[in-house]
């Protein structure tokens, strides 16, 4: 941690920030501050160099054109790679999950090179997955169901170096590329090295305080005291109940 202030990066919020994903950084900052840890958000937009010395990075989702701008920026700027390889955790949502992989296929069918921080590839599913997503976490340190909102056309396949974040209970998650066989067990998200990626918007950290604290522990290299934030449990209960209720005809 730099000069004892936790610095939380939000990369390219103008192109990667659908469904309030920028809120993930706000949640990290607030959960740090409420424990007496000084924290600030560093906004890094398309024209700014990406600092390699931030303590934690967040990347949001984005629509197809925005996503290709972000992919080009990340290929041309080594700051994020240096930061993550230097030990900073990175949270990536939806389009960013795809961009951090080996490649993804865009809406026009072109294969776009990714950052190769994740051993994944993404092809169109042939349909959009839209709705609530609930998973059972598969990562040590997470015990509570993960809840979020998904909206994506891509289906992501994990290679051997990538592990899933959760097992899908409701919704699609990583999905299945068109023309390929569905796996027996469906998964959401990717965990590899210092990267945690998911298809969950929400913002996902507002709905899943355990995940926020996992990132904070890694960013601060400290154990954290338990923290109750009023309203979070009620939000979780309401969203999990809503996801379990079949949509009206
Ligand atoms: N454009 C990507 C897709 O549809 C990601 C969408 C998103 O980030 N919400 O798969």
For residue range 153-203, list pLDDT tens digits in order.
999 999 999 999 999 999 999 999 999 999 999 999 999 999 999 999 999
pLDDT reading at 115 higher than 70: yes
The pick from 17, 69, 92, 95 for probing ligand 1's pocket by mutation, whose C-beta has the most ligand atoms within 8 angstroms, reads 95
Please give the number of the atom of ligand 1 that sits closest to the Cα of 67: 1
Taking the CA atoms of residue 90, residue 228, residue 36 and residue 203 in that order, the dihedral angle to the nearest 10 degrees is 30
Q: Is 240 a catalytic residue?
A: no
The pick from 11, 94, 128, 203 for probing ligand 1's pocket by mutation, whose C-beta has the most ligand atoms within 8 angstroms, reads 94
- 199 Cα to the center of ligand 1, angstroms: 9
Tell me if 152 CB under 6 Å of ligand 1: yes
- Whether the predicted model's global pTM rises above the 0.85 cut: yes
pLDDT in tens, 73-111: 999 999 999 999 999 999 999 999 999 999 999 878 999
In this structure, of 3-7, 38-42, 82-86, 127-131, the range with the lowest mean pLDDT score is 3-7
Going by pLDDT thresholds of 50, 70 and 90, the confidence category of residue 23 is very high
- CA distances 249 to 218, 244, 246, Å, are 44, 15, 9
Please state, in angstroms and rounded to a whole number, the distance separating the CA atoms of residues 139 and 135.
Answer: 11
Percent of the chain residues topping a pLDDT of 70: 98
Tell me if 209 CB under 6 Å of ligand 1: no
DSSP assignment string, 154-189: EEEEE-TT-B-SEEEEES-TT---TTSPPPSS-EE-
201, 207, 218, 239: the catalytic one is 201
Helices (H) and strands (E) in the chain, counts: 7, 12
pLDDT of residue 249: 60
- CA distances 142 to 176, 182, 209, 213, 218, Å, are 25, 26, 10, 10, 13
With contact defined as beta carbons under 8 Å apart, do 42 and 51 qualify? yes
- 150 Cα to the center of ligand 1, angstroms: 9
Please state, in angstroms and rounded to a whole number, the distance separating the CA atoms of residues 106 and 112.
Answer: 7
- 25 Cα to the center of ligand 1, angstroms: 20
Going by pLDDT thresholds of 50, 70 and 90, the confidence category of residue 3 is low
With contact defined as beta carbons under 8 Å apart, do 55 and 8 qualify? yes
- 65 Cα to the center of ligand 1, angstroms: 10
Q: Is 187 a catalytic residue?
A: no
Tell me if 220 CB under 6 Å of ligand 1: no
pLDDT in tens, 137-158: 999 999 999 999 999 999 999 9
50, 88, 94, 100: the catalytic one is 94
Q: Given 3.40.50.880, 3.10.28.10, 3.40.50.970, 3.40.50.620, which CATH number is that of 6-244?
A: 3.40.50.880
Query: Buried b / exposed e across 141-160, counting CB within 10 Å, b at 16+?
Result: ebeebbbbbbbbbbbbbbee
The pick from 92, 151, 172, 202 for probing ligand 1's pocket by mutation, whose C-beta has the most ligand atoms within 8 angstroms, reads 151
Name which residue leads in pLDDT, 136 or 1. 136
């Amino acid at each position: 941690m730099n000069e004892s202030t936790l610095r939380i990066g939000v990369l390219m919020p103008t192109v990667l920030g659908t469904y309030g994903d920028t809120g993930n950084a706000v949640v990290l900052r607030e959960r740090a501050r409420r424990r007496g840890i000084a924290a600030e958000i560093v906004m890094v937009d398309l024209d700014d160099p990406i600092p390699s010395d931030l303590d934690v990075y967040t990347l949001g989702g984005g629509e197809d054109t925005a996503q290709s701008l972000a992919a080009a920026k990340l290929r041309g700027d080594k700051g994020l790679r240096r930061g993550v390889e230097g030990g900073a955790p990175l949270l990536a949502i939806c389009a960013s999950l795809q961009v951090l992989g080996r490649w993804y296929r865009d809406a026009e069918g072109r294969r776009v090179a990714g950052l190769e921080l994740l051993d994944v590839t993404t092809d169109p599913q042939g349909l959009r997955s839209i709705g609530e997503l609930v998973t059972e976490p598969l990562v040590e340190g997470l015990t509570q169901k993960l809840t979020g909102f998904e909206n994506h056309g891509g289906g992501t396949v994990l290679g051997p170096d990538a592990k899933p974040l959760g097992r899908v209970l409701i919704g699609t998650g990583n999905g299945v590329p068109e023309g390929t066989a569905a796996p027996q067990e469906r998964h959401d998200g990717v965990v590899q090295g210092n990267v945690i990626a998911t298809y969950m918007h929400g913002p996902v950290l507002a709905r899943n305080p355990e995940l926020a604290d996992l990132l904070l522990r890694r960013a601060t290299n400290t154990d954290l005291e338990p923290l109750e934030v009023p309203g979070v449990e009620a939000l979780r209960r309401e969203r999990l109940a809503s996801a379990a209720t079949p949509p009206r005809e």
